[in-house]
Amino acid sequence: MRKAFNIILGLCILVLIYICYASIMGPINFEKAKKNREKAVIARLMDIRKAQQEFRNLNHQKYTASFDTLISFVKNQKLPFIFKAGVLTDKQLEDGLTEAKASRIINAAKKNGNYAEVKKWGLEGFKRDTMWVAVTDTIFPKGFNPDSLRYVPFGNGKQFEMAIRNDTTKSGAPFCLLEVKTPYDVYLDGLDKQEIANLKDVQTKLNKYPGLMIGSLETANNNAGNWE
C-alpha cells in the first residue's frame, strides 16, 4: 500500500513539474513562434508596399486595391531607369545650361549629325539615356515570385486585406490612401489560442489594429507599418 502511495505521489510530482514547465515555456515558445511568423509577414507587406509605390508612380499617383492588377504590373510593367554619365560644371550652369537643355542639344546632334553645339557647350562626356527595365529586375531579388504577394505567410492560403481611398485635400488636391493588413487570427493560426486572445485584447484596449498592417485609410502616414 505504501509503495503504491509513493508511486502515485511520484506521478503527481511529475505532473506538477510538467505543469510548471509548460506554464513557463508556453509563453516563451509562443513569443518565439510569433516573432518568426511576424518576420515573414512584415517582409511580404514591405514587398507589397514597394510594388504599390512603383504602381503609383506610373498611374497618376494612385494605388490599386486589386492584387490581380498589382501582380500583373509586377510581372509585365517596365520602369524607367536613367543612365547618367558626366555632370554639368558650375560655368555651364551659370551660362544657363540645364540637364534638360543639355539632353536636347545632344539628342538633336544625334538626329542631324551636327555636333557643333555639343562641342560649343563642352558636352562630349555628358550622357543621359532612359532605359526601361522590368519591375522584377529592379525592386525585387532574382527568383522573386510575384504571385506570392497576395498570400499571408503561415496563413494557409488566406490573402491580405487590401483597400484604397481616393480623396481630396481641403485645397482640392487629389490624394490616394492605401491600407494592407492581416489579423493575428490569420498568421498565428495553430498557436496557443489563449495567447492570441491576450494579444488581441491588449491591442483592442489600446485602440490599435490586432495584427500587422501598412498604411491607413484614415490618415496619411506614408504607408508606414504599425511595427515601425
Interval 21-62: pLDDT, tens:
455 556 888 999 999 999 999 999 999 999 999 999 999 999
pLDDT at residue 158 in the model: 97
Sorted by where each begins, the domain ranges of the chain are 32-75+145-228, 78-137
CA dihedral 109, 113, 117, 118 (to 10 degrees): 70
**Phi first, then psi: what are they for 120, rounded to 5°?**
-60, -40
User: Is the distance from CB of 214 to CB of 179 less than 8 angstroms?
Assistant: yes
Per-residue pLDDT at 214 exceeds 80: yes
Beta strands in the chain (DSSP E): 78-85, 127-134, 161-168, 174-183, 211-215
Per-residue pLDDT at 139 exceeds 70: yes
Interval 2-21: pLDDT, tens:
565 556 655 555 555 555 54
